[in-house]
Structure 1
Amino acid sequence: MPLIYLVPNEEAQLKNTRKWLLVGILVALVVAFFLSGANDAFTLESIKAQQAQFQLWWQESPWTVAGGFLLIYVVMAALSLPGAALLTLLAGALFGFWTGLVLVSFASTIGATLATILARTLLRDSLEKRFSQQLKRINAGVKREGAFYLFTLRLIPIFPFFVINLVMGLTRMRLRTFYWVSQLGMLPGTAVFVNAGRELGGLSSLSGILSPGLLVSFVLIGVFPWLARALVGLLKRRRLARQYDRPATFDRDIVVIGAGSAGLVASYIAAAVRARVTLVERGRMGGDCLNTGCVPSKALIRAAKSVKEIQQASRFGVEAGEPRVDFARVMGHVQTAIRDVEPHDSPERYRSLGVDVVEGEARLMSPWRVRIGDQELTTRHVIIASGARPRVPDLPGINDIAVLTSDNLWQLDALPRRLVVLGGGPIGCELGQSFARLGSTVSLVEMGSQLLPREDSDVAEWVLKGLGDDGVQVQLSTRALRVVAGGGSDGHLLEVEVVEDGEARMMSIEFDELLVAIGRQANVEGLGLEELGVGTRDNGTLDVDGALQSVLPNVWACGDVVGPFQLTHASAHQAWHATVNALFGEFKRFSVNYRALPAVTFSDPEVARVGLNETEALQQGVTYEVTRYELSELDRAIADGNAHGVIKVLTVPGKDRILGATIVGTGAGEMLAEFTLAMTRGIGLNKLLGTIHPYPTYSESVKATAGVWKNAHKPERLLGYLARYFAWRRGGN
């Protein structure tokens, strides 16, 4: 018999054919179920009407009847058909408690496993190709603690079981593990429902509804999720207690490690609700935002902007001459800004709010014990807010020079004559442009094909032009290879590889100072987390769930140490969730929602965004329509000489619901607030259009953008009728 070899494309085609055939069979079975009226037969009334006949069948052939019920239940669960809960009740009504419990326990687990196999066969491969990174993280979590997580989902029926079956089918969990965990986890809930069905099956009149047994069954169904959740929490605590010595009493409700924006907000909230909280900081209060990030960088940007304003004053008929920059005084202005903001984040202020502020290195000795120097505190919860630090690449020769980062930049006392900025993200663009305006010769090296890689390409082009106008030499598609200390005529060299039109060429850039701005890495070392089993993700941030809880149920994390957005306001947003979940999670837990999280790049022009942009919408498969408004049309921008930039709003096709907004231009960060409020509160473009805005202001651009959307969606047919109506009123034809 000849062998038939299939080329890869033919194999894939055959595989797809089999999948579609299976889909067709499944759809046919589901359609047949509903068209046949079988769903109407699975009611308590119909079963009770045939109860006498059923009892006779049950007595004559118990194995056949039980097997038939088990088969029907398995098929319904495997196909995710509605009615599993009702079938569980019917099992109690028809078979009694113990027989019904055994039948449903095995039938539901077998059906769930088959549903998982179907999902795995039909969907997993294609979804893994499309969402490989997301599923990779999920599978890592499943591998580490998937059985306990599945057990929790089964025990607490918050999500429908058929959803859990389908989702778990997309993971790499072993089917054997899925089966036994599902059977064990569903058993308590199954027992409650079967017992309720047994009581219902015994009703002979309406007065029986008030029977104690039936009332207890209904109460158990209502409170079971709460009891199960408490049981899961108890199991987690006991599992921890077996590993570590849990204190009988605690010194603190919360110990917060790190006094940056996340740690400050977390300790403030805890103290505000009268919890006893200790805030530990090994460096300066205020963290990166106050000392090396937001505050100093914006002070520097403002000083650099004044140079540009003086240079452009002649546009308005004002002659000021060429500005002279005293860099030492510029840095003095930066330090003054830090000192003026510092009291807001000082130990004295937080102590006055009821926070116990301690200076020192903190280390977790157990989930409930934190050592700070010679002191050891017991605490019910720990919040890790240790922040992040600049990432420095492992380039050959880079250790031979003093590298600048956003941490140590502020100690400069002389303006660099030639500055190379490594990285074209927000920090690189902001600082590179500022130093160019102050007088440095700046070269910006970016490995990607555009600046600001998270933004749309047209948005990045605006920033590229802005940097170019200020003299920044931007090198895109350029990879740094090595640093040669002293390799230049009177400085250092950065050797790079530039890719243009598919061709790679080598070049060298001379510099006096190298500013590295390629991203930040989380501060997770030295805290004792690794020894306690608290892992990290692939990017080095702490691995927490949507509620910011780590694998240890009393250890939480927020801010830059977690990501994914290393922004001050994102850290504060997370800190609220981490603190509230830690203190009150037994009653209500909140997952962090980043849907309306704004972000601003303070370049010139500014780039401000909230929600999705076009790039992300395409990556996520979200359908959208885009409305554009050019700021060259805005009266205030024209009067100020800032008539450049654009507003892009993404909406649901045909509707005014906002999916995201991006603004490029002067004051973009301030204009963004209205779109952020609209997304947060579910306000559409129609209501923004109906809001009165003062004239002439930049905020009018928001209303104008809504007007562009409205004009594109005007009811043409109705307007046609109105035109005819007005013509009739004028007495025309």
Structure 2
Amino acid sequence: MKKPILLIALLALFVAGFVILRDHSIDLESVRNQVGTLQDWRQSNALLLFALFFLAYVTVTALSLPVAVWMTLGAGALFGFWQGLLLASFASAIGASLAFLAARYLLRDWVRAKLGGRAAAIDAGLKRDGAFYLFTLRLIPVVPFFAINLLMGLSPMPVLTFHLVSQAGMLAGAAVYVNAGTQLAQLDSLSGIVSPTLLLSFAILGVFPWIARMFVNILKRRKVYAGWNRPASYDRNLIVIGAGAAGLVCSYIAAATKAKVTLVESHRMGGDCLNYGCVPSKALIKSAKLADQMRHADHYGLRPVTPQIPFAKVMERVHRVIEDIAPHDSVERYTELGVEVLQGHARIVDPWTVEIAMSDGGTQRLTTRAMVIATGAEPFVPPLPGIGDVGYLTSDTLWEALRDREEAPRRLLILGGGPIGCELAQSLARLGSQVTQVEMAPRLMMREDEEVSALVRASLEDDGVKVLTDHKAVACGTDEGEKWIEVAHEGQAHRIAFDDIIVAVGRKPRLTGFGLEELGIKAERVVETNDYLETLFPNILAAGDVAGPYQFTHTAGHQAWFASVNALFGWFKRFKVDYRVIPWATFTDPEVARVGPSETEAREKGIAFEVTRYGIDDLDRAITDGSAHGFVKVLTRPGKDRILGVTIVGEHAGDLIAEFVLAMKHGLGLNKILGTIHIYPTLAEANKYAAGEWRRTHVNPRLLALLEKIHDWRRK
């Protein structure tokens, strides 16, 4: 209750000040008269007048009343330049700090609640550069100082920092006006003080810190490169290490802008997504889904059949799909685009030199203006005792290992309950494997809401997967030729026999063997980069899984644009990578797609939100297709249609999420989606109906009551 009372009191003081000022015209003549009156009184009360004037100056500054300029002129006229500057400098800084503290106490919590998750990012930026921006703004008197006081009060900046930086930044402006005040009798108008020349001088003064900062950055760069011999000229504009999603996009952009670019790949073009991840797994999922539909053909009025599954043929199709897509990422295609493609292992020798151990046994050294590390990631295998003795598979190796088998693995154990583990568990169970899935966490897909995890688990269990959550793998081994894994649950341990095991507990970036350690580039969990994807050396950048924080093909391509543009044109203009709207999907059946925070994440981060939910079981097209399950869940600002996050569970969720991604990217709310025509009957109508559910709960009941009365009146 204290905050509203204090806010009302401050507003009352502000209004009272404006009323008083309105009744007393303030111009040069009135200031001269007041100064003349006070000069006589000052002869016998100099110290008291200084104290009262100081207090008055602090008050008008704290209340953001528009008389600070006149007070500064008065300080110069009454006390002379040095005493007037002392008074104006300290009084203005103290008043500004009081306004700063008032804004922090009264408004900061409310504004942070409105900003939600964005508040943390803003705080981080102001914590890093806030003092610099404050000093720059204080040097430019065109920017309203009262606005700076209030806005900075909402930031995490310490009050002492704010006070000292403000006092230093306002000193030049205060000196100009105090000096003008010493010549008050000769002034005809303020235009003599605030002349275009003076404003231009202040603007140049305001730009000076940026120039100084640029100079400091140049010195830092020189220090980073000290001890390295820069080549007199360069063989390439850009060298890209790794031909996965990020590397291919970087190379394409470089070639499209007519740069001389070399792409180095030590294994297969297309990287993990084409050869081991997205492409083969989705081909497998499609075959498995068709087999499941055959078993449940009675859902469509047909006679169900038990599918005959020649597993080798299924795997043959998987590899054929890879071969059909491979030309898109081939050496030939990129060579035609203007990219030099070298097959070999690249190692960075110095900030401008890459040594390539060619696949044919030779070695080649190339110098380059810039380079991008896009080496991707590989499956993480936990240090589980005995895991190496049982012949484990991963999402990378299973495609070749299972290629020629006539049947799917009979007893298959999948270690891991994330997206990869869930997709493989369901698909291989539908193709004939007896699948046991072991996850040490309390539930599957821990990044999603509990209801999503429960729905996915129920679907997997319907397909015959034995799901063991809260089970920790302890050891692996063989006993009389039979493979087993020991798991612990609630203090009890037991063994599970299996024929094959797939380890799917996550992926780790490929960091070793590329010369990063020798150059001092930090690479612990990922390659450490700044907001521009630059490493310790600004001309060496990283993109994709190796850079984090996401391990998706589409985010690798997204980062690649920023990495390549900054690498090639950073000398002119750099771009911070944008992670504001990142979608992803897990291609289980039903699919799970999300963009923005989940309900659980929003609650943990203290983001204010409300939930709108539409059940896909009510959607006409889903009913006709026999896929009437799942939901669309939208998080919005309380009382607003602005979208914070969306989770979709259902058929083609990965496709349906795109409309919400577009809306969030361009600031469109649910009302815009509701007002967009969606073809009937389609699954995309689910998005419109979700928007309609939000609209229905936000209709003004008083307005509806009024409309009812109007309609009643019109019938009479």
Mark yes or no: TM-score above 0.5.
Answer: yes
Residue matched to 1:405: 394
**Take 2:46 and 2:528, find their aligned partners in 1: how far apart are those partners?**
52
Q: Is the 2:390–2:478 contact (alpha carbons within 8 Å) kept by the matching residues of 1?
A: no
The match for 1:689 is 674
Residue 693 of structure 2 is matched in structure 1 by 708
Q: Which amino acid aligns with 1:264?
A: L
Paired residue for 1:273, among 243, 257, 270? 257
For the residue of structure 2 that corresponds to 1:565, the secondary structure is: coil
Residue identity matched to 1:299: A
Please report the RMSD computed on the Cα atoms of aligned residues, expressed in angstroms: 4.8
1:97, CA displacement in angstroms?
10
The correspondence of residues 124-139 of structure 1 with structure 2, limited to 5 A, is none
Tell me which residue corresponds to 2:507: 520
Deviation at 1:170, TM superposition (A): 8.3
Which residue of structure 2 lines up, in the alignment, with residue 449 of structure 1?
442
Of the three residues 330, 344, 349, the one matched with 1:365 is 349
Q: Which string of whole-angstrom CA distances, capped at 9 and with x for unpartnered residues, describes residues 567-601 of structure 1?
A: 11111112222233344445554333333221110
Question: CA, structure 1 residues 246+157, in 2 after alignment: closer, same or farther (shift >3 Å)?
Answer: farther
Looking at structure 1, the residues matched to 431 and 288 of structure 2 have their Cα atoms a distance apart, in angstroms, of 6
Structural mapping, 1:326-405, within 5 Å:
326-373=310-357, 374-405=363-394
The 1:195/1:250 distance shift into structure 2, 3 A limit, reads farther
Distance (whole Å) between structure 2 residues aligned to residue 682 and residue 60 of structure 1: 64
User: For structure 2, which runs of at least 5 residues remain unmatched after alignment?
Assistant: 139-146, 358-362
After alignment, is 429-438 or 525-534 more displaced? Answer: 525-534
Comparing 297-306 with 522-531, greater Cα deviation is found at: 522-531
> Is this contact kept in 2: 1:91–1:100, CA < 8 A?
no
Q: Encode CA deviations 1:312-359: one digit per residue, 9 max, x unaligned.
A: 123323336311111111111111111111111122222222323233
> 1:15 corresponds to which residue?
none
User: Is the aligned partner of 1:491 residue 2:475?
Assistant: no
The equivalent residue for 1:12 is none
Specify the alignment match of 1:463 in structure 2.
Answer: 456
In the aligned structure 2, how far is the partner of 1:376 from the partner of 1:91?
A: 72
Q: 1:628 to 1:253 in 2, by over 3 A?
A: same
1:458/1:496 CA distance change after superposition, 3 Å: same
User: Which deviations, in whole Å up to 9, do the C-alpha atoms of 1:370-423 show, x marking residues without a partner?
Assistant: 333444433333322221111111111112222211111111232211111111
User: What percentage of residue pairs aligned between the two structures are identical?
Assistant: 46
| Farther off after superposition, 459-468 or 546-555 | 546-555
For residue 433 of structure 2, the aligned residue among 419, 434, 440 is: 440
Distance change >3 Å, CA 58–CA 457, structure 1 → 2? farther
Instruction: Determine if contact 1:491/1:511 at 8 Å carries over to the other structure.
Output: yes
Change (3 A) 1:193 1:360: farther
For residues 715 and 431 of structure 1, the distance between their equivalents in structure 2, rounded to whole angstroms, comes to 48
Query: Deviations for 1:450-506, whole angstroms, at most 9, x for unmatched residues?
Result: 1110111111111011100110000011111111x213x65211111113xxxx322
* Segment of structure 1 superposing worse, 722-731 or 55-64: 55-64
CA contact under 8 A between 1:105 and 1:190: conserved in structure 2? no
Residues 233/100 of structure 1: CA separation in 2 closer, same or farther (3 Å cut) = farther
Change in 2 beyond 3 A, CA 1:720/1:104: closer
1:505 aligned partner, one-letter code: Q
- CA distance in 1 between partners of 2:51 and 2:461 (Å): 77
Q: Which moved more, 1:352-361 or 1:413-422?
A: 352-361
1:629 to 614, 623, 628: 614
Offset at residue 635 of structure 1 (A): 1.2
Select the structure of larger CA radius of gyration.
2
Structure-to-structure mapping, 1:113-128, within 5 angstroms: none
Q: Which whole-Å deviations, capped at 9, do the CAs of 1:647-692 have from their partners, x for residues lacking one?
A: 1111122222211111111111111111111212222222222222
Deviation at 1:723, TM superposition (A): 2.5
Q: Are the aligned partners of 2:377 and 2:509 in contact in 1 as well (CA < 8 Å)?
A: yes
Aligned partner of 2:494 in structure 1 is 507
The count of residues paired between Structure 1 and Structure 2 equals: 677
Counterparts of 2:483 and 2:648, CA distance in 1? 38
Out of 574, 588, 596, the residue aligned to residue 611 of structure 1 is: 596
Q: Which amino acid aligns with 2:241?
A: I
C-alpha distance in structure 1 between counterparts of 2:495 and 2:201, whole Å: 78
Please, which of 225, 233, 236 is the counterpart of residue 220 of structure 2? 236
TM-superposed deviation, 1:54: 10
The answer to whether the 8 A contact 2:474-2:487 is kept is yes
Letter of the 2:616 partner, please give it. Answer: L
Determine the structure 1 residue equivalent to 2:198.
214
Counterparts of residues 527-566 of structure 1 (less than 5 Å): 527-536=514-523, 540-566=525-551
Residue identity in the other structure for 1:274: K
Structure 2: distance between partners of 1:680 and 1:437: 37
Q: CA deviation at 1:73?
A: 11
The offset of 1:74, in angstroms, is 11
Residue pairs, 1:45-56, within 5 angstroms? none
Q: Which amino acid aligns with 1:318?
A: L
More displaced 10-residue stretch of structure 1: 242-251 or 308-317: 242-251
Distance 1:598 1:308 in 2: 28
Aligned twin of 1:10: none
- Whichever residue aligns with residue 447 of structure 1, its letter is M
Query: Retained in 2: the 8 A contact 1:192–1:217?
Result: no
**Distance in 2 between the 1:535 and 1:243 partners?**
18
Deviations 1:176-202 (A, max 9, x none): xx89xx98x997x67875676688767
Task: Tell me, yes or no, if the aligned pair for 1:478 and 1:497 is still in contact at 8 Å.
Answer: yes
Instruction: Please state if 1:426 is matched with 2:413.
Output: no
> Is 1:655 equivalent to 2:634 in the alignment?
no
Corresponding residue for 1:321?
305
Distance 1:242-1:88 versus aligned 2 partners, 3 A rule = farther
Counterpart in 1 of 2:142?
none
CA contact (8 A) 1:256 1:385 kept: yes
Give the counterpart letter for 1:424 in structure 2.
G
* Partner in structure 2 of residue 258 of structure 1: 242
Change (3 A) 1:730 1:169: closer
Q: Offset of 1:262 from its aligned partner?
A: 1.2
Note the residue ranges of structure 1 that are not aligned, 5 or more in a row: 1-19
Distance of aligned partners of 1:326 and 1:346 in 2 relative to their CA distance in 1, 3 Å threshold: same
Q: CA deviation at 1:234?
A: 1.6
Change (3 A) 1:620 1:360: same
